Structure 1
Amino acid sequence: MANTPYPESYYAASANAVPPRPALQDDVETDVCVIGAGYTGLSSALFLLENGFRVTVLEAAKVGFGASGRNGGQIVNSYSRDIDVIERSVGPKQAQLLGQMAFEGGRIIRERVAKYDIQCDLKDGGVFAALSAKQMGHLESQKRLWERFGHTQLELLDQRRIREVVACDQYVGGMLDMSGGHIHPLNLALGEAAAVESLGGTIYEQSPAVRIERGANPVVHTPKGKVRAKFIIVAGNAYLGNLVPELAAKSMPCGTQVITTEPLDDELAKSLLPQDYCVEDCNYLLDYYRLTGDKRLIFGGGVVYGARDPANIEAIIRPKMLKAFPQLKDVKIDYAWTGNFLLTLSRLPQVGRLGDNIYYSQGCSGHGVTYTHLAGKVLAEALRGQAERFDAFADLPHYPFPGGQLLRTPFAALGAWYYGLRDKLGF
């Protein structure tokens, strides 16, 4: 059986040491079989174990192999579509419940880090940076919206204040969210996996789910074994493939690119981001960046629809970094990689149940670090018979991409081109 290692990245190179995990070689029984050892699967497993379930996790490659171990490492609240958009779509009652959950994922991350002593370079503070007066007006509205749902750790930044937190002269202002922040994402996943095992859960790596045998007692088959369970949680997201055809039809894997500089000297690092906050701009196709624990700059941006790997990631992202920070023109890039996230047409997560015992959550649409941790809690609640919050997500409307799988990539790329043009022209 093929052994799939981590792709080359700064995160893989700086990952905390962990014990090897076996591949599934036989038949096992459990209460819940979780497919995928990313944030959604690990969060689900932890909440279930804490509530007395027996849990087995199957991972096709290694813990955090997908988006959970490759993302920008930013703790960003709410969803890819904000609460006002949800409210217009589903009405005030459902939106109220989803709005109350919009800031819970970040709290769950901090609780996990503290409870299980996870070493993942957690830092508080995230900045949304406005490139135009229109974007600044949107942030002012967003602050009022989030405060309506009880989220108050927010500060609007005028042009002078944003210069104090980021050394970039592109921005006219911004908003600081002190409940945002950043982490080493792979080390967070590895720490959560260790927590799963400390509670008696089992994780099998290099054990892809190749078939689900549905029924009253569903069975998940791998190349050399199978897991018989009472419930299944499907948490593969952009790396699920066609294991569950009903889920593949309404989503599309997309790639985003990230580069990491060589370590910066302390003075230069502090001059770029004096308070060590993470930053993302307010464009539709946004740029995002932050400092690592060892004073490198991680800079990401861009989307490749259909999840193709670009030939030269540095050539795509380095110009974006230098536009923000021309003072880094002589700095070497040590790492460049791509990773996939799962996009839905609505840009809202898809949550639901197939039959009576197969649950799923997918399609974070680039906003997954916090949402996936919330999703694990919501899925665990549903398995315990507390489905109100699960139903609030499950009742969100979702549609297939126009033209089906054949045309979803060009349609999405055309839409992104349109919004990218609006960003550049400022309308």
Structure 2
Amino acid sequence: MKVCVVGSGYVGLVAGTCFAESGNDVICVDVDKDKIDGLKRGIIPIYEPGLKEMVLRNCEEGRLNFTTDLDLAVKESLVCFIAVGTPPGADGSADLQYVLSVARSIGRAMESFKIIVDKSTVPVGTADKVRAAVNEELNKRGVHIEFDVVSNPEFLKEGAAIDDFMKPDRVVIGTDNVRTAEIMKELYSAFMRKSNRLLVMDIRSAEMTKYAANAMLATRITFMNQIANLCERMGADVMAVREGIGSDSRIGYDFLFPGVGYGGSCFPKDVKALVKTADECSYDFVLLKAVELANERQKAVLSDKILRRLGTSGEKPLAGKRFAIWGLSFKPRTDDMRDAPSLTIINRLLEMGASVHAHDPEAMNEAKKHFGDRISYSVNKYDLMRGADALVIITEWNEYRNPDFDRIKELLINPIIFDGRNLYHPGRMKDAGFEYLPIGRNGEAVCEMA
């Protein structure tokens, strides 16, 4: 099948490459000429395991091409995916200007039947706006060309996007047209060989499904973080509590790891957008507003621990203190730092007068865009600890799970580890001679039960 994907960012590039991998002829389009020129040379603008190899293979075999010429891509394709950004506005609403701009461009370029697919995360009702934008351009041209608009939200986890696309939990197709549904089923058939996980529903339900899924996951994460904070005050161990509740088949273990809050390109943006959508419908989504508030507070939990343990009085209570940071990206296996907890934690440490030396396997170039020379960077995860007052773990990269603790203790001024991801067992750390401050573990009861 001939496919074009407009937008060569994270979603568009992964989708286009995976469609090409399954035998389709794919053209990826972007307005950024430098990005397109780089992709033609095999330069991948994002870090995603396995993506570069797949891009190079499909380019070499002629199934995957890159261009800035949207008109040409539309004319040569049956299915046109819109995969551009929908950044949050000041009020939390999704900014649809790029989606609707692409829709209008498709309307100006199309000469035959097209299936226009919203792959970007968009609010309920966006398909109607896309349809109106295309019709407006066709009317200006004085032509009548049949087309259909489909909602096909993505459910990709950064760091596992290739597997998620090639072996999906589900593929949601929102359409009211039987013929269009069959064409979309054919396009996705290569990913359904073991079992059919394709769900066809009405367009508005498909649009809502994406937001509802991410809001649910954000709520689970936030709930567990709140339980962790309570565990510290009650002298309970949140990891034991996780085992206890996760063993309930109605709950399960996924997305119940406590930490320093969620970040990334999806959860913060989608929760805000769903709250905004609810407000526009005169519905007070109290639960999600609380999730937003709790998550922002959670990002301060680790720096609060540092302040309580090592801070002094005065305007700059951490002046003269130096901290070694492990982890900058919002999660492992990505260089994405959008709404990453590290941004809040490091900025708070700097505001309190501390100096910061950071390591991350993939995100240090991205971190330089946020911090510049306000912090130092190290390509070696141990070198930055020499002379540091403590180690602070923010992201749970595998490289940090089994370090040389003797070496760490030798390099640090104080054998103190503030662990925002609970990578280690408190008992073992105590035996190894460390003062270990994780999230929701080894706290002392400060509340007496009546």
**TM-score calculated relative to the size of structure 1:** 0.21
Which structure has more relative contact order (CA 8 Å, sep 6+)? It is 1
Q: Which has the larger radius of gyration?
A: 2
**TM-score calculated relative to the size of structure 2:** 0.20
